[in-house]
Amino acid sequence: MLLIKTYVGLSKIHGLGCFTAQNLRKGQLIWVENPELDVNIPVNKVKKYPKSVQCFLKMYTFLKENSKEGVYILCGDDARYMNHSFCPNIIENPDGSGSSLTARDIKKGEEITCDYYSFDLEASIKLKGANRRRL
């Protein structure tokens, strides 16, 4: 769940992106997982969905481990449009909560980027063959 004002717009990185609608300061908490908004989908259930739904989930979820098996997380807000960057402007919170903080000051109108490798167990699959320019 995003804790800041955002909007979805055209991305220079890939398709659509998540942009901040306000200035953000370095170290600001901007995202926390909220089970009332962010849907947890067990890996073993995904194959039961129609192919069109599987494609949607492949694009807009991230895979994390829970105690017994993998779980796909589908963000219920604009966070699902965050694109990967090797120099992201948000980072995982070092407290281990899985929340996200700004890595630097971010100006209103900037695209919010994250490092898929820091939280998505399928990052290498999703980014295989993608444009790997260092944004």
Residue 48 pLDDT: 95
Measured between alpha carbons, how far is 126 from 116 in angstroms, rounded to an integer?
9
**Secondary structure class of 92 (helix, strand, coil):** strand
pLDDT, one tens digit per residue, over 10-32 is 999 999 999 999 999 999 999 99
pLDDT in tens, 51-60: 999 999 999 9
Q: What domains appear along the chain, each with residue ranges and CATH number?
A: 6-127 (2.170.270.10)
What average pLDDT does this structure show over 126-131?
72
What is the average pLDDT across 92-118?
Answer: 95
pTM of the entire predicted model: 0.89
Mean pLDDT of the chain: 92
Q: Which amino acid is at 12?
A: K
The beta-strand segments (E) located in the chain are: 6-10, 16-20, 29-31, 39-42, 61-65, 70-74, 83-84, 90-92, 100-102, 113-114
